[in-house]
Structure 1
Amino acid sequence: MISKSLAACGLALLMAGCGGSGGELGPRASAPVAAAPADWRNVATTADRDRLRRWRDAWMQALPAARKGNAAEIDEQGALFDPDRALPGAMPPPGAYRCRVFKLGAAGPAMLDYVAYPFFDCRIDAEGDVLSLYKQTGSQRPVGLLFADTDARAVFLGTLVLGDERAPLEYGQDGNRDMAGFVERVGDRRWRLVLPWPRFESKLDIIELVPA
């Protein structure tokens, strides 16, 4: 699991306390716990603020492209792919989750407009005033914090762990690894993490989260 030092590091969102091998984050390490900043605006980089401001543009470009040839699969997911679906209770409760990634809208000529991955393991933990979210398995593993914003939306700020890397980079250290998005509840015990303008492969990533 992710270290509680993630919550203690303030603006830097220092996440180097995580450990693990074989593509899975390791056990929680002991670390002093300090108050994390409650307002994501005190943490987000300028580039990520811009990505979050342009979230609807990402939907409007990515979703129509993804529907070409994949409309039936997208319609099967119902509210998951409705950009305006955001129910009260944005903050998911701590616990184990099943999570799967959908990539919409090709970011380049060699990419696909729609890619759906199988379920992997994710975890959400309480970290003082915020929550930590981390994908435990898979070759691309987002790790970061959830900040309360409105009742219908929380903000995710974190970084991307790749391959057999044992620990995340600090948030803000590498713009290509930084991740920013919104967490919204779209159904009964069903949430999504929407990541507009990711650095690789797609224009919009959606991570579905359901309790394990």
Structure 2
Amino acid sequence: MYRVLTAGCALALGFTLSGFAGLSVEAAPGAAPQSDAPKFETLRDGTPIRADDAERLDALDLTYGEALRQALNEGNDETIFAIVAALRGRPQTVDDGALAGLVGEWKCNMTKIGGVTPGVIYPPYRCEIRVEGDALVFEKQTGSQLTRGTLHRDGDRIVYLGTDYIRGSTPPAYEDLPSRIDPKSLEQFFPDAGLLEVTGPRQARIVLPKPYVESELNVLQLAR
């Protein structure tokens, strides 16, 4: 039986403080110098997680409500039906044996809810869960927008921490992402933080609240 991920494999987060234009600020005598070191929290197993990613996960239920409210108010019947299908199914308890059973290839469908539009449903792609050393790795392998990262046990939750990137680019690992993220940057590498929910013997989903661009809630359905 393997660990989902050792704490040393994951990451930290933070933000950069910038001064006002034309204003010189001196550190108080004896004060520690300011730095761009990222701020972070830790999952229950000791894995570091970017502080804003931890906040996004903690506010998941609120994000669900906001995204669904927009979809139900503005979406057509086809869009609403697809969104309901993506979110249907009670998450099951996942022990280490069940986690091991997730390894392999999956068909995955991305549904984006709220934000720019009430909902967008994408065609099936190919995804994979595999073991690399002590890590359980998830990767979306086809499509123009990809994600790759690792799965971590956080009490009863299975947390996904990864990097969202565009096909053709070489993404940094989650732990190597900069502390300040610019959604307008031409080099689009964004932190992905979500929860893996197993809903059946051959079904699961990764729910990603408040992605950096386009939507309020992303749901990546997994089936095989």
TM-score (norm 2): 0.68
Residue 140 (structure 1) aligned to one of 145, 167, 174? 145
Larger Rg: 2
1:44 matched to which residue of 2?
Answer: 49
Q: Identity over aligned residues, as a percent? A: 33
Q: CA RMSD in A?
A: 2.8
Provide closer, same or farther for how the CA distance between residues 70 and 85 of structure 1 changes in structure 2, counting only shifts above 3 A.
Answer: farther
- Map Cα deviations across residues 141-193 of structure 1 (whole Å, 9 max, x no partner): 01100112345x3100010121311x221314244511100000123311000
**Deviation at residue 201 of structure 1 after TM alignment:** 0.1
**Deviation at residue 81 of structure 1 after TM alignment:** 1.6
Instruction: Confirm or deny: 8 A CA contact 1:103 1:115 kept in the other structure.
Output: yes
1:155 matched to which residue of 2?
Answer: 159
Q: Distance in 2 between matches of 1:121 and 1:189?
A: 15
Name the aligned partner's letter for residue 156 of structure 1.
Y
Residue 196 (structure 2) aligned to one of 183, 186, 196? 183
Q: Distance in 2 between matches of 1:112 and 1:141?
A: 20
Q: Does 1:124 align with 2:129?
A: yes
Q: How does 1:6-85 map to 2 (within 5 A)?
A: 10-12=9-11, 42-67=47-72, 68-75=74-81, 80-82=86-88, 85=90
2:205 matched to which residue of 1?
Answer: 192
**Deviation at residue 46 of structure 1 after TM alignment:** 0.7
**Deviation at residue 55 of structure 1 after TM alignment:** 0.7
TM-score (norm 1): 0.72
Residue 99 (structure 1) aligned to one of 97, 101, 108? 108
Provide closer, same or farther for how the CA distance between residues 128 and 8 of structure 1 changes in structure 2, counting only shifts above 3 A.
Answer: farther
Name the aligned partner's letter for residue 171 of structure 1.
Y
Deviates more, 1:127-136 or 1:68-77: 68-77
**Deviation at residue 100 of structure 1 after TM alignment:** 1.0
Q: Does 1:171 align with 2:171?
A: no
In structure 1, runs of 5+ residues without a counterpart are: 1-5, 14-36
Provide closer, same or farther for how the CA distance between residues 188 and 158 of structure 1 changes in structure 2, counting only shifts above 3 A.
Answer: same
**Deviation at residue 198 of structure 1 after TM alignment:** 0.3
**Deviation at residue 93 of structure 1 after TM alignment:** 1.3
Instruction: Confirm or deny: 8 A CA contact 1:38 1:130 kept in the other structure.
Output: no
Deviates more, 1:121-130 or 1:95-104: 121-130
**Deviation at residue 57 of structure 1 after TM alignment:** 1.1
Q: Distance in 1 between matches of 2:119 and 2:85?
A: 17
